[in-house]
Structure 1
Amino acid sequence: MDEPIDRTTALVIASDSGDFDGPKYLAMHRGRPLLQRVLDDVAAWPVDGVVVVLGDEAERVLAAIDFDEAMVVIDPEWREGAAASIRVGLDSLAREHLSGSCLLARGDQVGVPPELVARLLATHRRREAMATVPKYRYARGWPIVVSERLWPRLMGLEGDVDVLDVLSSHPGGVAEEWFDTLPPHLISSADDLPDGRRR
């Protein structure tokens, strides 16, 4: 049976460590912890629920961040790479019977507006796609809408995978939504912080 296309859960991956002096997701971004800044964005998205996957320094992040009504799961194997955290997140959705589509989002990508998410979801539903990705001018990026029927494929991945590369092997089922903008900013290391601070 196909998933109910009117339900979407945001799955925020915030498990890696990165090049920071302290916990990556507690690095200050314009006066607020990085993950808090991202969750502030997520709160405005047109989704039905939020799941956040933590890994590195999970207990410190739990204590410092206001997750509001989001469900938090901890990936004990986060050092394996992105695949482990995606597995943990999708497994939690399945166990909680949160069927439908999943909006895969990065916990280090700030400034994703609700209008962008709404356009992605509208295209995904209209095209009945296995996955829908934003194309920022000439390059695909995040966040990514993934239909439930693709979850088993993603849950079978291992290591430090790039989901966009995986989706390239399913070209017929992947829709694109084009944006004439640069992608929302990624904070991969302390050098990417706007104020240059590492904590």
Structure 2
Amino acid sequence: MKTAVILLAAGSSSRLGRPKQLVDFQGKKLIQKAIEEARKSKAESMVVVLGWNPELIKTGFDADQIPFVVNPKWEEGMASSMQAGLRFLMEKKQPEQVILMLVDQPFVDCNLLDRLIEEKAKSGKGIVAYSYSGTLGVPAIFDQTYFEEMLSFKGSEGAKKVILKNSLDVCPIDFPLGAVDLDTEEDLYRLKDWKI
């Protein structure tokens, strides 16, 4: 099945006070690391969704080589950014399934993304999502049967709403490090102590 990745990188990092997309982790900007992992995965295509200050964020990756879209409504919440990426891919790449990933989950790598693709094929489920902190969330893969539903969301609704609403069609995979995201300076400080 044709797989595409939507990398959500549109936020303003208001709690961090500086763009998390450009934070250095293991010698790379977070956005660059996420893009490289997506490109190393078995997905055939990808798109980066930008929003806040796109010209600045584009300094963190090779915008001439990597497809991106700018979501002018990024402040409305995750739904509009997810939809901007999905519309771009549906028009240009016609994927049969999409992986949603966030720019601020530093422990997501190509193996985790590939596992979503493999488990979806094996399980026969329409959604595969990672499980952490007592919930299910991204990165997650969605069959094209859910695209219309994803395009109907508003505001801060996002992947989690699709996952919870269609729980009988979800295959969960345990990923405790999925809970590590970077919203504050304290999160970044704690990250320095993590060893992979």
| Interval containing the TM-score (normalised by the shorter chain) | 0.7 to 0.9
Q: Counting helix residues as a fraction of each chain, which structure ranks higher?
A: 2
Give 1:4-43 correspondences, 5 Å limit. 6-18=1-13, 19-43=15-39
Q: CA RMSD in A?
A: 2.4
Partner of 2:162: 166
Q: Quick one: distance in 1 between partners of 2:64 and 2:189? A: 26
Deviation at 1:24, TM superposition (A): 2.9
**Pairwise CA distance, 1:95:** 1.1
Number of residue pairs aligned between Structure 1 and Structure 2: 191
Query: Structure 1 length normalisation: TM-score?
Result: 0.84
Q: Unpaired runs of 5+ in structure 1?
A: 1-5
Q: For each residue in 1:141-196, what CA deviation from the matched residue of structure 2 results, as whole angstroms up to 9, or x when unmatched?
A: 320101111011011100012422332111222222235x4326311233321488
Unmatched runs of 5 consecutive residues or more in structure 2: none
Larger RCO (alpha carbons 8 Å, 6+ apart): 1
Pick one of 147, 165, 186 that aligns with 1:191: 186
Q: Which one-letter code corresponds to 1:139 in the other structure?
A: T
- Does 2:77 match 1:90? no
1-structure distance, mates of 2:148, 2:30: 30
Identity of aligned residues (%): 23
Task: Provide runs of 4+ in structure 1 moved above 4 Å.
Answer: none
Kindly provide the CA deviation profile for residues 44-89 of structure 1, in whole angstroms up to 9, marking residues without a partner as x: 2221111100001101111332257431100000000000101111
Q: Which residue identity does 2:177 align to in structure 1?
A: L
TM-score for both structures, normalised by structure 2? 0.86
